[in-house]
Amino acid sequence: MPKIPLALAGALLFSAAAMAQTAGVAVTDAWARATPGRAEVGAAYLTIEAAVADRLTGLSTPVADKAELHMMTTEGGIMRMTPLAAVDLPAGQPVTLKPGALHIMLVGLKQPLQPGQSVPLILRFEKAGTREIAVTVGTVGATAPESHAGGGAHRQPGH
């Protein structure tokens, strides 16, 4: 008889481990553009892939007063930037935040973002909880993360 409760306990442990693993979120290619002298606003970009459907619901960083999700669109030749409360993350599908589209605005920069610098960014997810990542600052005119120039994507440690 003791084998049945032991087997049940093992199955429950396996299920809990599988659930914890599937709730994971991978963040890759986190980068920002350097900002000139007295700029008070910057932008950050990254790619997120959730193992199970999730939502990015909030952001913060110690280098700015606020970090906000924004969507840039062009309508009738006019560019518009709209703040978003959250971003849906479909299971297993990468969501890329990039220039001219969905991105992160860093509002109220406390100092300029310098090329080569790494700044912390805290991401809050509906299911996966909170993750802190490092955002690498590229040049002022960068159009992609520096890792792309070297031929490989950079994975954030532990994610």
> What per-residue confidence (pLDDT) applies to 12?
42
Tokens 């999730």 label which residue?
54
Q: Residue 149 above 50 pLDDT? A: no
Give the pLDDT mean for 27-44: 95
DSSP string, 4-21: HHHHHHHHHHHHHHHHHH
Q: Any residues with CB less than 8 A from the CB of 19 and at least 6 apart, and which?
A: none
Decide if 47 contacts 97 (C-beta within 8 A).
Answer: yes
The residue extents of the domains of the chain are 24-145
Q: What's the pLDDT tens digit per position in 101-132?
A: 999 999 999 999 999 999 999 999 999 999 99
Decide if 44 contacts 35 (C-beta within 8 A).
Answer: no
More confident residue, 158 or 55: 55
Distance CA 46, CA 52 (A): 18
> What per-residue confidence (pLDDT) applies to 10?
45
> What per-residue confidence (pLDDT) applies to 23?
56
Give the pLDDT mean for 87-103: 97
Q: Residue 15 above 70 pLDDT? A: no
What CATH architecture is 24-145? Sandwich (2.60)
Quickly list H helices, 23-140: none
Question: What is the model's pTM?
Answer: 0.77
Tell me the pLDDT of the chain averaged across its residues.
84
Both tokens of residue 30? 């986190």
> What per-residue confidence (pLDDT) applies to 126?
97
Supply the DSSP symbol for 51. S
